[in-house]
A and B are shown apart, each in its own frame.
Chain A
């Protein structure tokens, strides 16, 4: 049963992260391969605070989210100045830079060896160690994220973002601030990714750079693409499908070195196949 709970809890964390990516990539239309980096910052901040200071879990999560809001705005800002292709470079650069920091700043992040022994979250005197207990927290986090996403998509803000994705210039000509809308979306995406990172670190109790590298960003994109861009349903189904994949792959007896490559290979194939034949994903709208 624990195994099943773990799968659900992890998928729920990725739903939160997928919402963040969907907001940027699907709704605003910014190509980003650096969301895993923001996710990582959230994870490392919570891990560090819980392991080295007396800050309780929820304030630590809040601090991580706040930092990720600021960071994601900073990271997304170039997309306001430079055209699409230049932002691709920015995004790749930030992801590689973040990986370099996670791997080499040993004092803060534990380096390539990672940070073991991140304490389980303590909420209202309850220590959520068992996957079943943690599941409640993950579900609450996902539910809040989904509610926020849903409210935004049906509010004028959601409409404004859709309009921006289609034609920024026309939006500006109608007297709307494209800058403010994009910064707001980036902030929101940062909050989602940071919170997801904090949950991830405390759930696994161990983090290392490999969870937040370029491959992780590709996995995230695959989740959004397979589930479907721009819809809540798509963001929810994507992570559940893609995280089931490695489990299915485990049934085939592959050596570990090949298994990791096979997994990433499948993510790559999924990106290509969906872009070619079903750009709207399973339950989304056309990218």
Chain B
């Protein structure tokens, strides 16, 4: 029954990955910025939540502190970095390099403060297991799936049902039109980056419950998430989430035939296949 176990693990980590993919997709589709620093925000989310816990905050409050802090961090990056660069007429390449710099800054602040050793996120309830349909699920896994699905539903609701979400989609599809109709893309950008950053705190805090905190864990996570976004079709929230789950399942099942160190190879293989045969993704808009 190893495969069933791996399948379940894949579905669970897919929900976490899906949150990263959806949050990145929101930012990318709206601002067109390949926000590499999102990897740093992800790591930041985990460490901030962990810190709050250590200072005695109860779990929900600690998570809330992390979410708010990540949202602020995202808004700050948009305001102080991307917006300034846009004003100075920076090329796409320049923005990318700056974003990579921001990612390095965030991760190394963490590494400097907390060292780059893996930190355990010991919560008493996290490892408690519950049998569901013949498989033992840990509380961490159940919480991850619950929050992951709720996040996906929430983002869908936000994008399609709220005024701000509609504005966001308008800016994404046509920034120029949005500008002349006074939707003010700049404000929308700040809100969307903040929102995406707040969301990415969730997987940032949940994944380490299982694997421990690690300052540089965000990069492979983000890479996989961007591959899911591209394979799902840029601009499609569902595409990003579904493909994230699919890739995570594939990664886990690949453990049947090869050791875990090579899972990055599996992910990259998926990307190459899509680039060759369906470069616009499954659910292209």
Asked if A and B are interacting partners, one says yes
Binding site for B on A (CB under 8 A): 25, 29, 31, 33, 78, 81-82, 84-86, 88-90, 92-94, 96-97, 100, 103-104, 214-215, 218, 221-222, 225, 257-258, 260-262, 264-265, 267-272, 275-276, 279, 287
Please tell me which one of the listed residues A33, A88, A214, A268 contacts residue B108 in the complex, with CB atoms under 8 A apart: A268
* Main SS class of interface, A: helix
- Give Cα A99–Cα B264 distance, bound, in whole angstroms: 10
A287 contacts B93, CB within 8 Å?
A: yes
Please tell me which one of the listed residues A86, A89, A94, A221 contacts residue B97 in the complex, with CB atoms under 8 A apart: A221
Closest to A269 in B: B105
Given contacts A88-B36, A261-B108, A275-B90, contact A96 B97 (CB under 8 A): no
CB of A220, distance to nearest CB on chain B (Å): 11
Q: Interface segment, B52-60, B62-70, B220-228?
A: B220-228
Please tell me which one of the listed residues A94, A104, A261 contacts residue B112 in the complex, with CB atoms under 8 A apart: A261
B85 contacts A267, CB within 8 Å?
A: no
A90 contacts B271, CB within 8 Å?
A: yes
A265 contacts B34, CB within 8 Å?
A: no
A-B contact pairs, 30 of them (CB 8 A): A86-B275, A88-B34, A89-B271, A92-B223, A93-B223, A93-B227, A94-B268, A97-B264, A103-B261, A258-B112, A260-B116, A261-B109, A261-B112, A262-B108, A264-B107, A264-B111, A265-B108, A265-B109, A268-B108, A269-B101, A271-B97, A272-B101, A275-B85, A275-B94, A275-B101, A276-B81, A276-B85, A279-B90, A287-B93, A287-B94
Given contacts A92-B219, A221-B97, A276-B98, contact A264 B108 (CB under 8 A): yes
B104 contacts A31, CB within 8 Å?
A: no
- Give Cα A260–Cα B195 distance, bound, in whole angstroms: 32
B112 contacts A262, CB within 8 Å?
A: yes
Binding site for A on B (CB under 8 A): 28, 34, 36, 81, 84-85, 88, 90-98, 100-105, 107-109, 111-112, 115-116, 215, 219-220, 223, 226-227, 230, 259, 261-262, 264-265, 267-268, 271, 275, 279
Given contacts A88-B96, A265-B112, contact A270 B101 (CB under 8 A): yes
Known pairs A88-B36, A257-B116, A268-B100 / 7 extra A-B pairs, C-beta < 8 Å: A25-B93, A90-B271, A218-B101, A257-B111, A262-B112, A271-B97, A279-B94
B262 contacts A104, CB within 8 Å?
A: yes
- Give Cα A82–Cα B95 distance, bound, in whole angstroms: 19
CB of B196, distance to nearest CB on chain A (Å): 16
A82 contacts B275, CB within 8 Å?
A: yes
B115 contacts A257, CB within 8 Å?
A: yes
- Give Cα A219–Cα B271 distance, bound, in whole angstroms: 26
A78 contacts B275, CB within 8 Å?
A: yes
Closest to B40 in A: A268
A31 contacts B93, CB within 8 Å?
A: yes
Closest to A214 in B: B219
Closest to B103 in A: A268
Chain B residues whose CB sits within 8 angstroms of the CB of A262 once the complex forms: 108, 112
Closest to B80 in A: A276
Chain A residues whose CB sits within 8 angstroms of the CB of B103 once the complex forms: 268
- Give Cα A97–Cα B266 distance, bound, in whole angstroms: 10
- Give Cα A97–Cα B270 distance, bound, in whole angstroms: 13
Chain A residues whose CB sits within 8 angstroms of the CB of B265 once the complex forms: 97, 100
Chain A residues whose CB sits within 8 angstroms of the CB of B267 once the complex forms: 93
Please tell me which one of the listed residues A25, A31, A97, A268 contacts residue B268 in the complex, with CB atoms under 8 A apart: A97
CB of B6, distance to nearest CB on chain A (Å): 20
Closest to B234 in A: A85
Chain A residues whose CB sits within 8 angstroms of the CB of B90 once the complex forms: 275, 279
A29 contacts B98, CB within 8 Å?
A: no
Given contacts A261-B112, A262-B108, A276-B81, contact A84 B92 (CB under 8 A): yes
- Give Cα A231–Cα B104 distance, bound, in whole angstroms: 26
Closest to B102 in A: A272
- Give Cα A90–Cα B276 distance, bound, in whole angstroms: 13
CB of A105, distance to nearest CB on chain B (Å): 9
Closest to B265 in A: A97
Interface centre among B96, B108, B226, B227 (most CB of A within 10 A): B108
- Give Cα A258–Cα B104 distance, bound, in whole angstroms: 14
Given contacts A84-B92, A221-B100, A268-B104, contact A100 B109 (CB under 8 A): no
- Give Cα A84–Cα B94 distance, bound, in whole angstroms: 12
A267 contacts B104, CB within 8 Å?
A: yes
- Give Cα A269–Cα B109 distance, bound, in whole angstroms: 11
Closest to A287 in B: B94
Chain B residues whose CB sits within 8 angstroms of the CB of A29 once the complex forms: 93
A271 contacts B104, CB within 8 Å?
A: yes
A268 contacts B275, CB within 8 Å?
A: no
- Give Cα A29–Cα B94 distance, bound, in whole angstroms: 10
Given contacts A103-B261, A104-B262, A276-B98, contact A265 B223 (CB under 8 A): no
A104 contacts B261, CB within 8 Å?
A: yes
Chain A residues whose CB sits within 8 angstroms of the CB of B111 once the complex forms: 257, 260-261, 264
Please tell me which one of the listed residues B85, B101, B271 contacts residue A271 in the complex, with CB atoms under 8 A apart: B101
- Give Cα A100–Cα B111 distance, bound, in whole angstroms: 21
Please tell me which one of the listed residues B84, B85, B262 contacts residue A100 in the complex, with CB atoms under 8 A apart: B262
Closest to A100 in B: B264
Chain B residues whose CB sits within 8 angstroms of the CB of A269 once the complex forms: 101, 105
A265 contacts B105, CB within 8 Å?
A: yes
B275 contacts A100, CB within 8 Å?
A: no
